[in-house]
Structures are given as structure tokens and as C-alpha cells.
Amino acid sequence: MQIDQNKIDGYNSQSLRKHERALAFLQGEIPHAAEIISQLGEFQIAIPSWALGTGGTRFGRFPAGGEPRNLEEKIEDIGLLHRLNRASGAISLHIPWDIPEDPAHIRAVAAAHGLKFDAMNSNTFQDQPGQAHSYKFGSLQNVSRDIRQQAIEHNIEVIRHGIALGSESLTVWLSDGSCFPGQLSFRKAFENTLEGLSEIYAELPDNWKMFVEYKAFEPNFYSTTVGDWGQSLLYASKLGPKAYTLVDLGHHLPNANIEQIVALLLMEGKLGGFHFNDSKYGDDDLTVGSIKPYQLFLIFCELVDGMNARGMKHATDLGWMIDASHNVKDPLEDLLQSVEAIQIAYAQALLVDRKALTAAQERNDVVAAQEILQQAYRTDVRPMVAEARLRAGGALEPLSVYRGEQVRAGLIRRRGLVTIATGL
């Protein structure tokens, strides 16, 4: 389903006056507005191939209809998002949920939509049909060498798929761990996992990165073998310079100070990427910015500050990905909201008066420091985000265009009401 440029321009012209007034006001208030708009224009967020259908929960799934039936249609959906917001220019694939049988073709389909392939995700947390060994008691941590070997080979296979698509990173998330005290030896589980990761690491091309994703709980509820940022950092440090920690916002214990984790990982040069989502309780995978937008802003403050301190390019030196699930919303609308929430937090972080903040910190002026952060957070930066989209040929109001064009109804007509997407 395509929305051509004339259509988008038509919608834009309806709200252009209002937009220009709001933007002019902001430009008057913010001396470096032009710079922020251009940084926003470069910033792209990868959409996961598993987030285009209704995820549901283990209690049920209520499909929205018109969901993509194959990888081509998933790419098509991301292409549509990118067309509207010009900020979703990449896709992150999960293998074997989305196996690119004909990589040259898949690459061409993605290129036609202006999309690149971000991190490849391996999957040793489910058993696949025809698989020789079960991951019931873990994959890389497993006491059985055969099972570990199977998991290693799967990851190497994922790297091969990624090379064929032009991806440059592998995300490894292991559900390995234990449900009961005494079930495993923490030390042996760690050593086995490290050994397996090293064998996978050895297969990475020179220009590739490996992201070690951690998670505190679920599906194992007593211990997780890559359970927190300390353990992930330990693996990444032992593996070598191509290995980094990946932070999924939903993978922490309640009230964890994620912004501090981000600051320290960046300081150590070991932060590799993000899985953005939001949560109230656990790994809820809700729309980014829907529950704790201030936390998201504080995380971006550390990202901007830490990346600047290391001379890193915001747009390209970290992997920016969404990892969300959709139970009650149209997945495409939800993703538009998530991307915008990330852009808003990024723009607000770029607004922070860093010099004044450092000065306030140096004189222990706690009140001033808080005022400086909140001055940025309470600024409505949406006109700058919209302007970045407008300049790139996108929609001033992506959701209005999506709804105005009745995209979901069109997808249902073409793909049917009951579609089963692969993945979660």
C-alpha cells in the first residue's frame, strides 16, 4: 500500500499555517533550533519485524486484520511508516521468524522502500520444528555440549543471513537461566555461555558488532544467565571490542535507574544499542513514552551527553531499535507513536543547557539543576520534530494521514481480516 507524495503534500498543506506559527515561536525561543531540526532529520529508528502484527499475550490475541503475511509485506508496512515519518528507515529481523529465503530479492524490496537492515536477532529461546535438541534447560548455558553447539550454529547461521542482507550487527538475547534454586551452577552456566558467545564472536565479520541483551526475569524466574547490565558488560568485556551491551528498557527490576546504567556503559565505550519500549510492571513492551516519558528524556540526556563526550555520532554509532508488542492498538499506529516519542525525547535532550547544568552541578545547586532539565522537558518540541519530517518529505501529522487514508481498511481488503503473522 503506497501513499504518494501528492497525498502527503495535500495533508501537509492543510496544517501548514498552524505548524509554521508554532515553529516560528520555538525558533524565537531556541537559538540552536536549526541544528536540532537537522539532527532530528538524521536520526533513524529501526522497526522490528516482529512488531507489525498484533502480539497479544499468552492469554489471547485479538488480530487487527490486514497484518503482514510474509517478510515482503512486513517490509512494505515499515516502508509505509518511513514514508510518513521519514524516521523509520531500518528493519531489525528475527530469525527464524523471518527467514530471508532469497536475500537479494529481500534486499531489493527493502531498498525500494529506502530501508536498511539493522541488527539481526537470533532465537534460541524456542524450539523449532525438526530441531534436534530442546532448549528447555537453556541454550548456550546448557550442560549438554550438543545443545550448546546447536545454539552456536544457529547464531552463526543468523550472521550469514545478516551478511547477505547488508546488516552489520547481531543481537543475542538468551532466555537461559533457572526457575528454582539449585537447578544450575551459576558459575558453569556463565562459563558455558561465555564459551559459546566466543565461538559466535569469532565468526563476526570485521565491521560487525555483537549486542549482548540482558533481562532480569522471564521466562526464567529465579536466575537469568545474562540478567543485568553488569553480567552483560562482563561478557562483552571478555569477548572483545566488537561486543557491546544492549539495553532493552523493559528488562530491569522495578525502579532501576536506567539513565545511570546508560551513562556508565557509554563512559566505558560498551553501550551498543537499544530496544525501546515502555512498561508499568515488567517487560510490558508498551508504546515508547506512554508510561514514563520523563525517564525516557533522562535516558536521552545521558545518551546525548555521553555520546558527545566520546565524539560519537548520534545517528549512527548506536543501534536504535524499537521492541514492542501490540495488544489493543493498531500496530502501525502504535509504532508511529513510539517513533515520535523517541524523537521528542531526543529533541528535548538536545535542548538542555549543558553549560548551565554543569555549572549548577559544580556549585551543588540542586534546584537549578532540576530547573534546567525540566525547562527542556517541559518545552513542546513537537513543531521541530514535525519540521524535520516535513523537510524530509514526510507528513506533518503522520497519524492523521494514516487514518485519513484508511490504511488499515485498505490492508484488510488486500490481505484479509484473519492473518497470522510469524513471530510473537
Contacts with ligand LRH by CB under 6 A lie at 50, 121, 173, 213, 215, 248, 275, 283, 323, 424
C-alpha closest to that of 222 among 177, 167, 279, 281: 177
In whole angstroms, how close is the CB of 310 to Mn ion at the nearest point? 24
In whole angstroms, how close is the CB of 92 to Mn ion at the nearest point? 10
Query: How many residues lie near Mn ion (CB under 5 A)?
Result: 4
Q: Bridge partners of 48?
A: 92
C-alpha closest to that of 221 among 283, 282, 177, 160: 177
In whole angstroms, how close is the CB of 284 to Mn ion at the nearest point? 9
Does residue 168 belong to the site contacting Mn ion (CB under 5 A)? no
Task: Output 292 or 382, the one with its CB closest to ligand LRH.
Answer: 292
Task: Output 273 or 398, the one with its CB closest to ligand LRH.
Answer: 273
Task: Output 41 or 100, the one with its CB closest to ligand LRH.
Answer: 100
Task: Output 82 or 275, the one with its CB closest to Mn ion.
Answer: 275
First to last CA, the chain: 24
96 cis-preceded (ω within 30 degrees of 0):
yes
Q: Choose the stretch contacting Mn ion; rule: CB under 5 A; options: 86-94, 255-263, 274-282, 384-392.
A: 274-282
In whole angstroms, how close is the CB of 170 to ligand LRH at the nearest point? 12
Does residue 389 belong to the site contacting Mn ion (CB under 5 A)? no
E-assigned strand segments in 46-94: 46-48, 90-94
Does residue 278 belong to the site contacting Mn ion (CB under 5 A)? no
In whole angstroms, how close is the CB of 184 to Mn ion at the nearest point? 22
SS3 207: coil
CA triplet 33, 39, 41: central angle to 5 degrees? 105
Does residue 284 belong to the site contacting Mn ion (CB under 5 A)? no
176 binds, among Mn ion, ligand LRH, none (CB under 5 to 8 A by kind): none
Is the dihedral angle over the CA atoms 245, 246, 249, 252 positive or is it negative? negative
330 binds, among Mn ion, ligand LRH, none (CB under 5 to 8 A by kind): none
Task: Output 73 or 323, the one with its CB closest to Mn ion.
Answer: 323
SS3 content of the chain, % helix, strand, coil (to 5): 50, 10, 40
Does residue 73 belong to the site contacting Mn ion (CB under 5 A)? no
424 binds, among ligand LRH, Mn ion, none (CB under 5 to 8 A by kind): ligand LRH
Task: Output 50 or 135, the one with its CB closest to ligand LRH.
Answer: 50
121 binds, among Mn ion, ligand LRH, none (CB under 5 to 8 A by kind): ligand LRH
Q: Cell 486484520, residue?
A: 65
Contact 3, 399 (CB under 8 A): no
In whole angstroms, how close is the CB of 142 to ligand LRH at the nearest point? 19
In whole angstroms, how close is the CB of 114 to Mn ion at the nearest point? 25
**Residue list 233-252, contact with Mn ion (CB under 5 A):** 248
In whole angstroms, how close is the CB of 97 to ligand LRH at the nearest point? 9
- Angle between the N-to-C axes of helices 229-239 and 186-201, in degrees from 0 to 180, rounded to the nearest 10: 50
In whole angstroms, how close is the CB of 104 to Mn ion at the nearest point? 29
SS3 170: strand
Contact 73, 98 (CB under 8 A): no
Residues 6 or more apart whose CB falls under 8 angstroms from that of 216 comprise 224, 227, 228, 251, 252, 253
Task: Tell me the C-alpha to C-alpha distance, in Å, between residue 191 and each of 87, 198, 231, 232, 234.
Answer: 40, 10, 12, 13, 11
The residue at minimum Cβ distance from ligand LRH is 173
Q: Between 291 and 330, how does the x/- string for binding to Mn ion read (CB under 5 A)?
A: --------------------------------x-------
Is the dihedral angle over the CA atoms 12, 29, 378, 284 positive or is it negative? positive
326 binds, among ligand LRH, Mn ion, none (CB under 5 to 8 A by kind): none
DSSP codes of every residue in 342-402: HHHHHHHHHHS-HHHHHHHHHTT-HHHHHHHHHHHHTS--HHHHHHHHHHTT--SSHHHHH
Q: Choose the stretch contacting Mn ion; rule: CB under 5 A; options: 61-69, 117-125, 268-276, 288-296.
A: 268-276
- Report CA 76 to chain centroid distance, whole Å: 19
Among 275, 314, 326, 389, binds Mn ion (CB under 5 A): 275
Residues in contact with Mn ion by the rule CB under 5 A: 248, 275, 283, 323
